[in-house]
């Protein structure tokens, strides 16, 4: 795939917009991609790295992916420019059943670099805004600088049909920070909508997920109405290589999207 553009989201975090070079691959993607799925993005000579497709299923002309520069592959991906070639394998995995969300209130909760998978669902729903009722987005990061998709956050903030709640960890605020200061679970408890007829989509680092699930439970959300994605280390993406397993579940095939009740059924120590 060819890089169309790249965007610096936060220190060490970049978004790449990719277009298909091969018509056949594009067709496959069009036919198969649904929000929640992931892919393996690669550079020959360095390897492949797994992350979600951050663009929504309503926009299939291109793929956007957002990642933090940390390992060998992501360091190289971070250095690509428009016009460079990267590989993509996918889309793999399952999806958020967004048609089941229709007619319901949506609560999106994301932490740090985990906004991208949520963003895919958010846009998939916002692009068909009339099908859903109230939309609340709670997004937190360690510091103001770590918030990703800043321009889209502004856009959501401007919209009347989206309630965006931003928060940063204590100590991460800047002098002109107007929004919340505090960890996502505690902010959530203050701002969450009623659990009635509400679906929650939750993405974040393992520790945040753990505490946020507790908070949601306290707020009265049924575990069946809370969706999350698990992002384990993967190599093959097709249920062979064995490293993404949590219990008997192959995250790459049966996930990455799970309801909280499915997650709770997994061996918790292995998460």
Q: Is 19 in the site for another protein (CB under 8 A)?
A: no
Tell me if 7 contacts another protein by CB under 8 A.
Answer: no
Single out the segment in contact with another protein by CB under 8 A; choices: 31-39, 131-139, 161-169, 230-238.
230-238
Residue 84 binds another protein, judged by CB under 8 A: yes
Cα 9-63-48 angle, rounded to 5 deg: 80
Whether 143 and 135 have beta carbons less than 8 Å apart is answered as no
Out of 19, 27, 61, 79, the only residue in the binding site for another protein (CB under 8 A) is 79
CB closer to another protein, 112 vs 195 = 112
97 vs 239, which CB is nearer to another protein? 239
Residue count of the chain: 271
Q: Which residues contact 229 (CB under 8 A, 6 or more apart)?
A: 36, 52, 114, 117, 203, 255, 256, 257, 258
Nearest approach in angstroms of CB 159 to another protein is 32
Instruction: Choose the stretch contacting another protein; rule: CB under 8 A; options: 9-17, 123-131, 190-198, 225-233.
Output: 225-233
CA dist., res. 213 & res. 216, Å (int): 5
Tell me how far apart the alpha carbons of residues 222 and 207 are, in angstroms, rounded to a whole number.
20
- Indicate whether 71 belongs to the interface with another protein (CB under 8 A): yes
Q: Does 220 interact with another protein (rule: CB under 8 A)?
A: no
Q: Enter the tokens of residue 105.
A: 């209130």
Q: How many CB atoms lie within 10 A of CB 153?
A: 18
Contact footprint for another protein (CB under 8 A): 44-48, 68, 70-72, 74-75, 79-81, 84-85, 205-206, 231-233, 235-236, 238-243, 245-248, 253, 267, 269-271
């Amino acid at each position: 795939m060819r890089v169309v553009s790249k965007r610096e989201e936060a220190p060490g975090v970049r978004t790449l917009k990719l277009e298909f070079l091969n018509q056949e691959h594009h067709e496959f993607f069009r036919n198969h991609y649904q929000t929640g799925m992931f892919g393996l993005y690669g550079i020959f000579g360095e390897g492949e790295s797994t992350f979600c497709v951050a663009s929504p299923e309503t926009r299939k002309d291109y793929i956007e992916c957002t990642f933090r520069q940390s390992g060998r592959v992501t360091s190289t991906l971070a250095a690509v420019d428009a016009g460079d070639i990267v590989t993509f394998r996918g889309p793999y995995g399952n999806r958020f059943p967004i048609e089941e969300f229709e007619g319901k209130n949506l609560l999106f909760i994301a932490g740090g670099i985990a906004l991208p998978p949520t963003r895919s669902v958010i846009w998939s729903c916002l692009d068909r805004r009339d099908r859903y009722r109230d939309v609340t987005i709670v997004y937190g990061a360690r510091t103001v600088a770590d918030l990703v998709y800043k321009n889209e956050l502004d856009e959501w903030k401007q919209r009347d049909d989206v309630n965006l709640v931003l928060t940063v960890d204590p100590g991460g605020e800047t002098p002109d920070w107007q929004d919340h200061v505090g960890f996502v679970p505690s902010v959530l408890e203050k701002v969450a909508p009623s659990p009635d007829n509400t679906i929650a989509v939750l993405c974040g680092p393992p520790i945040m997920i753990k505490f946020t699930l507790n908070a949601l439970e306290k707020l009265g959300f049924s575990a069946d109405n809370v969706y999350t994605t698990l992002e384990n280390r993967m190599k093959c993406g097709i249920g062979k290589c064995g490293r993404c397993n949590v219990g008997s579940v192959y995250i790459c095939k049966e996930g990455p999207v799970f309801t909280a009740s499915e997650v709770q059924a997994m061996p918790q120590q292995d998460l």
